[in-house]
Structure 1
Amino acid sequence: MQIDNLLENIEYGDKKPAIKIIVDNDFTKEIRIVFRKGQEMKEHKTSFPIVVEIVRGLIKFGIEGKPHNLKEGNIITLDPSILHDLIAQEDSIVRLTLHKSDQVSRVMNVIKE
């Protein structure tokens, strides 16, 4: 059993979004990504399906070049190999659910670029 809270101990990155692994078990990987207004994750794609939930804030979520404004409470699912990007329109918290076979290091590499 594990209990954690997406809204506690929030730490913002100075120049890039801050990533924290919340759950990494036999079933799933849950990641919290904290954005300051204007921070982004440049266009990228995954090899596995993902689920993205906007926990707090407003994110411009680009899907193959088409922007979608996602607000608190919105959930979006993406199939593998779909190009997407995220830009925080205000300070935001995002929950990313990865397939168990996906790698957290892949997500970390996206914010390093």
Structure 2
Amino acid sequence: MKTASLTNNIQYHETRPTIQVLLETENGKEIRIAFKKDQVMKEHKTPFPIVVEIFEGSIDFGVNGSVHTLKTGDLVSLEGGVPHDLTALKDSIVRLSLNKADSAKRVEDVAKNS
């Protein structure tokens, strides 16, 4: 058994979202993305399907040029290869579920380059 918390030891970076791997299992990875208000993850694609949960806060989630405002408790799934971007409307915590074959480093690089 493995355990993790979406709310313990949250760290916010002043200029970009903070990425932290919470759990890694044989099937996937659970990642916490901590956004301060107005922080952005520029448009990017993932090679595998993902699930995004807004655990706390509110995010504008852009998909193929269309923006969807997501709030606490909302979930969205995307197939691989779909262009998307995120903008925090307020301080927010996002849970990202990745395929095992995907890389947390790829997510970190998107945040660093946004």
> TM-score surpassing 0.5?
yes
Q: 4+ residue stretches of structure 1 with deviation over 3 A?
A: none
* TM-fit CA distance, 1:25: 1.9
Distance in 2, matches of 1:5 and 1:31, equals 11
| Superposed displacement of residue 2, structure 1 | 1.3
Q: Aligned partner of 1:22: which letter?
A: L
Unpaired runs of 5+ in structure 1? none
Percent identity of paired positions between Structure 1 and Structure 2: 49
Structure 2 runs not aligned, ≥5 long: none
Rounded to whole Å, the distance in 2 between the matches of 1:96 and 1:87 is 15
RMSD between aligned residues = 0.6
Measure the CA separation in 1 of the matches of 2:9 and 2:106: 24
Is 2:94 the partner of 1:94?
yes
| Counterparts of residues 1-113 of structure 1 (less than 5 Å) | 1-113=1-113
1:67-113 C-alpha deviation (Å, 9 max, x unpaired): 00000000000001100000000000000000011111110110111
Normalising to structure 2: TM-score of the pair?
0.97
Tell whether the 8 Å contact from 2:3 to 2:23 is kept in structure 1 after alignment.
Answer: no
Task: Say which SS state the counterpart of residue 101 (structure 1) adopts.
Answer: coil
Note if contact 2:63-2:83 (Cα within 8 Å) is conserved in structure 1.
yes
Q: How many residues align?
A: 113
| TM-score with structure 1 setting the length | 0.98
